Structures are given as structure tokens and as C-alpha cells.
Amino acid sequence: MLTNTPFSPPSASNFAAEYDFVFFLLLGLTIFFSVVVGIAVIFFTVRYRQGSKADRSRPIYEDLRLETTWSVIPLLLGLVMFFLGAKVFVDMKVPPKDAQEIFIIGKQWMWHVQHSNGVRENNTLHVPVGKPVKLTMISQDVIHAFYIPAFRVQMHVVPGRYTSMWFTPTKAGKYHLFCSMYCGTQHSEMGGTVVAMEPKAWANWIANGGESVPPMTLEQAGQKLYNNISCNNCHGADDNLRAPSLYGIWGKQRKLSNGTSVVADETYIRESILRPHNRLSSGYGPTMPIYEGKITEQDIPKLLTYIKAIGTPGGVPASSPTSLDAAALNGTGGTMTPFASNAIQYQENLKKRLDATPTTRRGNPAVNAIAAQEEGRQ
């Protein structure tokens, strides 16, 4: 199709063809109507210019049939276009079950990526061709938007809530990654590259830790962190007096102490780690320590992955094919470095590596004060 013209962005995902069809259909409509209206205007202007000898007898001023015609035809065309567009949109909104989950954390002004096997990267995203990828995204400060033109996908990355999008890359190559929602001074430089790799190459890449050596898979790191920050002291295999068990809760409806209920999704669990007292599980008191300010946004995906693993009945084991780590794809098994000696060391290392471009919340004393106040409350 027209997608290979120099005026088009590369088409490199499963959405590109579906999307481009709607786009070019709309483009055709646009050109058609513009040309029809343009020609009519020029033709009438020339023919009925003042002083021309054209016949002006019996002019029409109202014509219900004509009005109805040109109301109904655009309406019908519009409905067709609406339907086609909505279909693409719904496709984009419904990720397949076996999608490889990757966590994206946006902050002023960089993207941080966490793969399920623990590989982290900044401002680049390596994805395998032919494999659905689901991005679970959150922002640590302001609203960003994750935009890959070649994949025709774009989604806001909102603070305080996980948003998601998915795609299946179809063509290997390097593509632009942009932050498309204005986010502050260096907005235009918040971006990087999406590298779509052949599955073999990708498996190699991720097994060798990408550009950094992965200490452990995301789930293992989550388990370690879970124990290190003492979640396991209270949240055991069964509900106890102090805390509800986290086994089997993922995606379940949870009764809250205030009578309402909520689905235990990423957003809720994140909220319960950071500010547990806001939404207490039914039957439990506000005894859990507040972790806001104590663990970083980058740590939360680890805990989430772990809680998801233990929270899904039948359990998705950490190295199962669905979580698609290196071992599953190239059949050799990834190399893991020894676990970090202790949690403090681990967190410090993490901080050093990840906060290469630290974000300061400038300007607003309120926010700093709220943070300080939260600390003071401990």
C-alpha cells in the first residue's frame, strides 16, 4: 500500500496495516470532499461572476431534499468511519492473554524500562518481533505519553495509576520512541529508541542482560524485596490477625473496611504498598507501615510481579513460557549473577544506577511539604 512512500512512517506492528487502512480511507474521503467542494466553488465563482451571461433564472433558496441528502450521506459515511476507527481502538485496548509484560516508568525526562527477567534499560526498549508485548506504564511525576509512531501506538502515562498498551512488532529495526505529552523543560529530549529484534537475537540480548547485568528476574527481585522490607512478616500464606494473605488475590474483588470494594489490580496494590491506610482490607486495622518515600517507583514493579505470581491461582511460575524469559525462547537458560548481599546494598545500587537523571520537584513547596509530612508521621 501507500505505507512505503517516503511520506509515511514505517509500519512495524500488527496495528499498522489495520490502522493504515482506516487512515487512507479517511484520507480518500477528505481528498474527495475537498476536491468536490473546491471544484464547485471555483466553477460557480467563474460561471456566475458578476457580468457573466450565465442563466440565473429560477434560483433555488431552500430544498429540503437536497439538505437531507447532504446531511444523511455524511452522517452515514461518518458512522462507517466511526465503526472502523472504533474497531481498531478496541483492538488496541484488549491485550492478548499471553502478552509479554514490560514495565515502563516515566519520569522527567527519561523512560525507564523493566523486563520481566530483571533487565533494565533507560530510554531504549528492546522487543521481540512477532510476540505480543504489553506495556504497563506509570509516571513518577507528571503526565507523559509513550508514543511509538512506527507501531501506531500512543498512551498517556499518568501518575498514580497504571495504564497499559500492547502491540506486536512485525519488522525488525530501530524506531523512534517519543514522549508526546508535554512534560516540562526537556520534553523534546525525553525519548529514545525502540529496537525490534528477531526473536533469537532478542533472546540472546535479554539473556546477556542487555546493557546491564540482570541481578535476578523481576519476580525474584520482587521476592527478595518482599522479604527484605518485611512484607512476609505479616502477609503469609494464609490470612492472619495482622494482615490478609496476598495469595490468590490478583484480579480479585477485595472488600474494603469502608464497605466498598475494589479490584486488586496494579494500581490498587501499588496504592496499598505506598499508602496502605487509605484503603484497608475489610477486617484489618491501619497497622501496616507506610512505604511512600521509602521505596521507589522502580521497586514497585518487582513487588507487583511477585504478588501477581503468588496471587494468581495455580500460580504463574516465574520462568514459565508466558513470562517469556530468555530460557524459554532460546532453550539455553539465562545466566544469573549472585543475589545482592542485602536489601540496603541492593537498593543503593539501584538508586545509583537508575537515578542518573534525578528529578527534583521544583517549585511547589506544597509537594515537598507533603512528602516531609509523610516522613514525619512515621
Partner 1 sequence: MAAIADAHGHGHDEALHHQFEDMDQQNEAYLVGMWTFLVTEVMFFGTLFIIYTLYRSMYQMDWYLAHEALNIPMGGVNTIILLISSFTVAVAVRSAQRRERNLVLWNLGITLVCAVGFLGIKSVEYMEKFQHNLYPGPEFGRHPEYLHGAAPNFAQLYYGLYFGMTGLHAVHVIVGIIVIAYLWVKWFLNAKNVTLDYVPTEMVGLYWHFVDLVWIFLFPLMYLMPKP
Partner 2 sequence: MSSIPIEKGLENSSPHQREQANYLTVDWSLKSWLTTGDHKRIGIMYLISISFFFLLGGISAGLIRYELTSPAGRVLESETYNKIFSAHGILMIFTFLVVAIPAVFGNFLLPLMIGARDLAFPRLNLMSWYLYMIGGTLILGGMINGGVDSGWTFYVPYSSMYANSNIALVIVGIFFGGFSSITTGINFIVTTHKMRAPGMTWFRLPLFVWAMYATSVVIILGTPVVAITLLLIVFERVFQLPIFSPELGGDPVLFQHLFWFYSHPAVYIMILPAFGIQSELIANFARKRIFGYHFVAFSTLAIAGLGFLVWGHHMFISSQSMYQGIVFSLISFLVAVPSAVKIFNWTATLYKGNIRLTSPMIYALSFIGLFTVGGLTGLFLGSLGTNVHLTNTYFIVAHFHYVMVGGSLTAFLGALHYWWPKMTGRLYSESLAKWNAVLVFVGFNLTFFPQFVMGWMGMPRRYHYYYFAPEYQPYHLMSTAGASVLALGLIIPGFYLLKSLANGPKASANPWGAHGLEWETASPPVTTNFEQTPIVMDEVYDFDPVLEHEQAQARKALEPTGYEGYEPGALAEPKKDESDLGGKS
Partner 3 sequence: MATTPLSKAAGHGGHHEVKFNHLFGNLLALMALMGITIWASYVNFGNSTINNLIALLIASVKACLVIWIFMGVKFATPLTRLWVAVGFIVFILMFGILGDYATRRFEPTAGWELNRPNGGGTALPREWPPAKRPEQGAENFRPRL
**Residue in the structure block whose three cell numbers are 433564472:** 57
Q: Which is nearer to partner 3, 293 or 317 (CB)?
A: 317
Stretch of 89-97, 217-225, 230-238, 328-336 contacting partner 2, by CB under 8 A: 89-97
- Examine residue 369 and tell whether it contacts partner 1 (CB under 8 A): yes
Return the HEC string of 104-122: EEEECCEEEEECCCCCEEE
Cell of 198: 528477531
In the window 232-261, what residues touch partner 1 (CB under 8 A)?
Answer: 256-260
250 binds, among partner 2, partner 3, partner 1, none (CB under 5 to 8 A by kind): partner 3
Residues forming the site for partner 3 (CB under 8 A): 14, 16-18, 87, 90-91, 93-97, 99, 129-132, 134, 164, 166, 168, 170-171, 199, 250-253, 263, 265, 312-313
To the nearest 10 degrees (0 to 180), the angle between helices 343-354 and 218-228 is 130
96 binds, among partner 2, partner 1, partner 3, none (CB under 5 to 8 A by kind): partner 3
In the window 277-306, what residues touch partner 2 (CB under 8 A)?
Answer: 278
**Residue in the structure block whose three cell numbers are 517516503:** 6
Q: Which is nearer to partner 1, 141 or 374 (CB)?
A: 374
How many CA atoms, within 13 angstroms, populate the side-chain half-sphere of residue 79? Answer: 5
For the chain, how long is the longest CA-to-CA vector?
Answer: 96
Instruction: Tell me how far the alpha carbon of residue 247 is from its chain's centroid.
Output: 26
Beta bridge partners, 173, equal 196
CB of 172 to partner 2, least distance (A): 19
Q: Which is nearer to partner 3, 94 or 366 (CB)?
A: 94
Which amino acid makes up residue 221?
Answer: A
234 binds, among partner 2, partner 3, partner 1, none (CB under 5 to 8 A by kind): none
Q: 229-254: string of b/e by CB count within 10 Å (b at 16+)?
A: bebeebbeeeeeeebbebbebbeeeb
174 binds, among partner 2, partner 1, partner 3, none (CB under 5 to 8 A by kind): none
Cell of 231: 512484607
Which amino acid makes up residue 318?
Answer: A
Q: Which is nearer to partner 3, 137 or 288 (CB)?
A: 137
Which residues of this chain interact with partner 1, rule CB under 8 A? 256-260, 275, 277-279, 365-366, 369-370, 372-373, 377
